[in-house]
Amino acid sequence: MREGQQALRLGDIVERFGGQLLGDPELLITQVATLESAGSGHISFFANPRYRRQLEQTRADAVIVSPEVADATQRARIVCKDPYAYFAQLSSLLNPMPAVAAGIHPSAAVDPSARVDHSAAIGAFVSIGARAEIGPATSIEAGCVLGEGVRVGRNCRLHANVVVYHDCSIGDRVILHSGAVIGADGFGLAWEGTRWNKIPQIGRVVIENDVEVGANTTIDRGALDDTVIEEGVKLDNQIQIGHNCRIGAHTAIAGCVGIAGSTHIGRYCRIGGSAMIGGHLHIADKVEISGATAVPKSILKPGTYTSLFPISQHQDWLRNASYIRHLDALAGRLRELEARLAALQGTSNE
Amino acid sequence: MREGQQALRLGDIVERFGGQLLGDPELLITQVATLESAGSGHISFFANPRYRRQLEQTRADAVIVSPEVADATQRARIVCKDPYAYFAQLSSLLNPMPAVAAGIHPSAAVDPSARVDHSAAIGAFVSIGARAEIGPATSIEAGCVLGEGVRVGRNCRLHANVVVYHDCSIGDRVILHSGAVIGADGFGLAWEGTRWNKIPQIGRVVIENDVEVGANTTIDRGALDDTVIEEGVKLDNQIQIGHNCRIGAHTAIAGCVGIAGSTHIGRYCRIGGSAMIGGHLHIADKVEISGATAVPKSILKPGTYTSLFPISQHQDWLRNASYIRHLDALAGRLRELEARLAALQGTSNE
Amino acid sequence: MREGQQALRLGDIVERFGGQLLGDPELLITQVATLESAGSGHISFFANPRYRRQLEQTRADAVIVSPEVADATQRARIVCKDPYAYFAQLSSLLNPMPAVAAGIHPSAAVDPSARVDHSAAIGAFVSIGARAEIGPATSIEAGCVLGEGVRVGRNCRLHANVVVYHDCSIGDRVILHSGAVIGADGFGLAWEGTRWNKIPQIGRVVIENDVEVGANTTIDRGALDDTVIEEGVKLDNQIQIGHNCRIGAHTAIAGCVGIAGSTHIGRYCRIGGSAMIGGHLHIADKVEISGATAVPKSILKPGTYTSLFPISQHQDWLRNASYIRHLDALAGRLRELEARLAALQGTSNE
């Protein structure tokens, strides 16, 4: 763990972010930490009751807690409604994004027609194509490749070895993690009797402001129109987004999710890891999809949706799974029993 | 969307690709577009009846339609059997692959013993190992790394940051998208009582002609013999193909599919996104596998195969899923009921 | 297939690795091969009875076999308890890792404050950040990017285009395959009413000795504490490991597995391809998880666990799957039948 660059008085923290301070306002805080690993100068938070033992044993100098558990420790503490959100804000203050060292590394290959803002940082072995535009205070790390006509806004950070294909557009304050590929061709094929014919993918990818894209995530360019990632969307690692998808603002998608082409996902959705969403679907706003859930059809109203086969010991699974293939037969036998029993009861009631 | 490089007369299009023209043959077409976003100079296509409203409202100058719906619009139109395939061919003509600017970028690191055809294009920061061979009109974009002894045929396109490990062989007209890794070691391990022993992977990857490989897709080299991707295979993004697999000609595989080692997939198969295929299996020709389907055993005859747990609201899922683990008990109770009822009917028939 | 660099006498092999030799000890072996493709100078192994026909037809000069099938061929053979492990050791001897050509490629961008051992090999276009340390005989191939403060031990091999974010630590004899991303930010977000707030990820990734990481696999840095991959762990391609996970020593994980944040996996586990493991879970030592299995809760005792929906032809699936959503109704009808039958039997027994 790295130490933060500065020390903050507990009193200053409360002045800035609110909450009620129980303890010495002069205490200096240098970093956030878990209850378990915190030490001198560290502040932690307590949100999950099952970590109560860690709270008792913590060596943190201070703890952020909710009103219900304000008495669970005698250490210096900040009492607030949402300790996790409070902690997130404080951590952002203590661990700011590193400053961008403006300038173009001498090894970078920047096309003469590209426009790179003088406050942007271009790393070693970066390749920037013709007519590309890089905005102020944006950092493009080593090994990134930006095609012709790519536009990147201000205050973005492209980590090492990101690829953005030609003509794609990236907003402000966007973070792209290493290995992300933005704008590769969508999977557009027409069957021609004996072979596939590749359909040119002439749309773009448009990524709006405040989006974060995880490592090795891929977002395909549109076939004709654009693929669009709306503002504030957060994508984890190894997500695949097919051509002409639209991901609604502030939706968060966990790792390894695949979304097939032309599907529109609403705003404020939360999609669990390894979920799979079919093509040409419409998912409403505020839908939650459980991890490992397959979505083969549109979901038109908010709620949580799941399609998980329950896990069990392999022997139990073997015993039960065989019946899955014969549920219709089982249901048929049930119907027959009901009919026979009804007939019998008719008889015996006579 | 980019505008095509040329304008074609409608009359010339029909002369070249066939179909019946209803409308002015002098009309100039510069680009393909969706019904919704088309404007002046654009041609669209109408294949899916549920887009009829878009057809009515389109501002496309011309539309490609099937005979059954030839009267659904009064705009200039080309009537043909398969509007989507027709559209694909026309789009390929209007949007040709960009010409390759022959030459080796001064920053590239090409081993002196490698042979690069004078018509090939080698981008910035490309690394090409000893004895590698690059064919005519092939483009290797920025940041690609080709190991020793790699062979790439003619008219290929390796997008930025592709890696091909030593000795792998790539045919003609092959497209590899960014982040694809060809020829990494297969997952070959022998357990030695207290630890794993790595088994050298001495096979290669052989990719035949006209294959396309999506972004961040990985194809492992063979353990002893080669991993083979036959001609015309189309692989989407983030697919994993294990060592010693063979993928039959003209098979298309959607994103996020995993295929474990030594599995042979037939020709003309279609595999849906996020499917998972176990190791050492044999999949026949012309098999279709639904998205998110797990294939734990061989499939020996053509057809469509599925293993999806139906999605439902989480509360409904909770209520139903618990029974999955007790299907054998349910079936047992059903059998007992049948026996009791049979006994009872025997009794009451007396 | 490449030929090994040396020839070994069969007698020398047995002297080195044990086993009983039936055949000419002077026979020279140059390479390992499958029964099917072996030729002159090759040794193969026979472990799976269903390859008996290949054994009969092989042209291998020698075969490694178990005592039970020692008579199944008359070719020269080595009889031993575990032919596969024997073969693995022999293959490692015949196919050693290529020697590292010490030195820093003139194109590499190595920060002056980084310490690179004189016996390490740094490839073309490699970028190494401030204060990084690279140990003896370690090879960093073309296009790799190592952030500030990264530590890599001795005898490691980082294949082309690997990225290691700042401050991560990698042990000795570690292999990272191309496209692997070590130490990207974990997916840490706090909801702030109208938008997500990114939580700084200030932990590291620590990879211990003898770990292998597959192509395009991603391992996220910890939010506060570290993400840890213990010694001898083997990870296949396209695996995603979330922040603050701990993977126990000698666990092997097949391709496309996703493990959500803060989950601890035990030692000696084996996890099948495309499995998905939820966050904040605890998986005991020696647990096996079947391929494509979703694990939504902790597993506290060893054993094999499965959650696969059985595959079937699509029509059969359609017929059966509809009942899944109504299992509780089915069970309710069964209970009612049981009650009615009990009542009836009570009646008819009167």
Contacts of A50 (CB under 8 A, 6+ apart): none
Burial A291-327 (b: 16+ CB within 10 A, else e): bbbbbbeebeeeeebbbbbbbbebebbebbbebbbbb
Model confidence over A141-189: pLDDT tens digits? 999 999 999 999 999 999 999 999 999 999 999 999 999 999 999 999 9
- With contacts defined as CB-CB under 8 Å, which chain C residues touch A175? 185, 198
Chain A contact probe: residue of B177, B311, B350 with most A CBs at under 10 A = B311
Spatial distance between the Cα atoms of B94 and A202, rounded to a whole number of angstroms: 10
Active site (annotated) includes residue C177: no
Q: Does the beta carbon of C5 lie under 8 angstroms from any beta carbon of chain B?
A: no
Q: Does the beta carbon of B187 lie under 8 angstroms from any beta carbon of chain C?
A: yes
Of A2-11, A86-95, A333-342, B341-350, the range with the lowest mean pLDDT is: B341-350
| pTM, 2 dp | 0.96
pLDDT at B259 over 50: yes
Contact B330 C326 (CB under 8 A): no
Structure tokens at A336: 């027959």
Spatial distance between the Cα atoms of B266 and B251, rounded to a whole number of angstroms: 7
- Pick the residue from chain B with its C-alpha nearest to A222: B1
Q: Which chains lie within 8 Å of chain C at 3 or more CB pairs, if any?
A: A, B
Q: Does the beta carbon of B5 lie under 8 angstroms from any beta carbon of chain C?
A: no
Contact B214 A125 (CB under 8 A): no
Catalytic residue among A42, A159, A177, A243: A243
Candidates A238, A306, A333; nearest CB to B311: A306
Contact C216 A214 (CB under 8 A): no
Say if strands A115-116 and C282-283 run parallel, antiparallel, or are unpaired.
unpaired
Mean pLDDT of chain A: 94
Instruction: Give which of C187, C181, C227, C188 is closest to C204, Cα–Cα.
Output: C227
For residues A251-257, give the mean pLDDT. Answer: 98
C-alpha Rg value of chain B to the nearest Å = 27
- With contacts defined as CB-CB under 8 Å, which chain C residues touch B333? 334, 338
Spatial distance between the Cα atoms of B145 and B159, rounded to a whole number of angstroms: 11
- With contacts defined as CB-CB under 8 Å, which chain B residues touch A127? 123-125, 142-143, 160
Q: Is C167 left (phi over 0), alpha (psi -120 to 50) or beta?
A: left
Q: Does the beta carbon of B123 lie under 8 angstroms from any beta carbon of chain C?
A: no
Q: Which residue type is seen at B166?
A: H
What distance lies between CA A301 and its chain's CA centroid?
A: 22
pLDDT one digit per residue (tens) for chain C, 350 residues: 344 468 999 999 999 999 999 999 999 999 999 999 999 999 999 988 888 899 999 999 999 999 998 998 999 999 999 999 999 999 999 999 888 899 999 999 999 999 999 999 999 999 999 999 999 999 999 999 999 999 999 999 999 999 999 999 999 999 999 999 999 999 999 999 999 999 999 999 999 999 999 999 999 999 999 999 999 999 999 999 999 999 999 999 999 999 999 999 999 999 999 999 999 999 999 999 999 999 999 999 999 999 999 999 999 999 888 898 889 899 999 999 999 888 887 765 54
Q: Does the beta carbon of A301 lie under 8 angstroms from any beta carbon of chain C?
A: no
How many interface pairs between A and C have CB atoms less than 8 angstroms apart? 232
Q: What's the pLDDT score for residue A343?
A: 87
Model confidence over A206-218: pLDDT tens digits? 999 999 999 999 9
Catalytic residue among B166, B177, B243, B282: B243
Q: Does the beta carbon of A92 lie under 8 angstroms from any beta carbon of chain C?
A: yes
Q: What's the pLDDT score for residue A42?
A: 97
Q: Please tell me whether residue C65 adopts helix, strand or coil conformation.
A: strand
Instruction: Give which of A230, A259, A225 is closest to A244, Cα–Cα.
Output: A225
Contact B237 A127 (CB under 8 A): no
Q: What's the pLDDT score for residue B350?
A: 45
Contacts of B111 (CB under 8 A, 6+ apart): B128, B129, B130, B131, B132, B148
Contact C32 B202 (CB under 8 A): yes
Q: Tell me how close the Cα of B196 comes to any Cα of chain C, in angstroms.
A: 7
Contact C333 A338 (CB under 8 A): yes
- Pick the residue from chain B with its C-alpha nearest to A319: B328
Q: Which of residues 63-82 of B touch A (CB under 8 A)?
A: none
Residue C334's H or E segment, with its range, is: helix C327-349
Q: What string of H, E and C letters represents the secondary structure of B141-210?
A: CCCCEECCCCEECCCCEECCCCEECCCCEECCCCEECCCCEEEECCCCEEECCCCEEECCCCCCEEECCC
Residues in chain B: 350
Q: Which of residues 12-51 of C touch A (CB under 8 A)?
A: none
Say if strands B205-207 and B227-229 run parallel, antiparallel, or are unpaired.
parallel
Q: Please tell me whether residue A75 adopts helix, strand or coil conformation.
A: coil
- With contacts defined as CB-CB under 8 Å, which chain B residues touch A185? 175, 177, 212
Work out the angle between the directed axes of helices A314-324 and A327-349 (0-180°, nearest 10).
70
For residues A76-101, give the mean pLDDT. Answer: 93
Q: ipTM higher than 0.90?
A: yes
Contact B309 A312 (CB under 8 A): no
Q: What's the pLDDT score for residue C137?
A: 97
For residues A95-117, give the mean pLDDT. Answer: 95
End-to-end CA distance of chain C: 83
Q: Residue written as tokens 């030609």?
A: A166
pLDDT at B347 over 90: no
Of A9-13, A70-74, A109-113, the range with the lowest mean pLDDT is: A70-74
Spatial distance between the Cα atoms of B105 and C124, rounded to a whole number of angstroms: 14
Q: Please tell me whether residue B53 adopts helix, strand or coil conformation.
A: helix
What distance lies between CA A250 and its chain's CA centroid?
A: 10
Model confidence over B300-334: pLDDT tens digits? 999 999 999 999 999 999 988 889 888 989 999 99
Catalytic residue among C159, C243, C264, C280: C243
Q: What's the pLDDT score for residue C347?
A: 63
pLDDT at A1 over 50: no
Mean pLDDT of chain B: 94
pLDDT at A4 over 70: no
